[in-house]
Amino acid sequence: MQLDESRVNPLLPDIKLDEKISFHYNINDVLNGSEILILSVPSSAMRETLEKISNNIHPEIKIVNTSKGFELNTLMSMSEIILETLNINDDQIITFYGPSHSEEVIKNLPTAMVSACANENNSKIIQNLFSTENLRIYTSKDMRGVEIGGSLKNVIAIASGICHGIGYGDNANAALITRGLHEITKLGIAMGAKEQTFYGLSGIGDLIAPLP
């Protein structure tokens, strides 16, 4: 109810949310007539959230996932959990990743992201929906690579923060980031991703954004 009244997210206290945005407290109310569903929940809550809505999903709905990570017990990616839980095809899932701190996006600072889907037309639908003068959206068919790059970057970012905190300097940090990207790329290729994906927004881009 607080958002209804104040239209201010406590995490972004200087920004008032647009009147066009409505708030719902019953998750299934959001699904009525929805052609596109954007999932922005913690990766640890992804399966539970999907199970709650699985019986109310339109068979042709497009699922846009912004959650990054792997499920702890199964090591499944977010798209794999979506496929396992919902009765949809893989080309209905769009992975929407990239270096995009919310506090910068909402202030209209220049940002670029990638819309990845097996179906290029669906990637372009999301590209057209979100593109603005300050937000550039690229497309990719390598959803696997985009997911892996966007999820594994946190491991390197944490290590980089430790490196910075104990005063190892720029030389060590540069080596860590470079070799970290190499390891992410090797793992991604072994898991079926394309090498060039990791040199894009959801590889090196997502890796740079959280660094100290």
Angle between helices 46-53 and 78-85 in degrees, nearest 10:
30
Residue 68 known to be catalytic: no
Active-site option among 20, 62, 124, 153: 153
User: Which positions are catalytic?
Assistant: 153
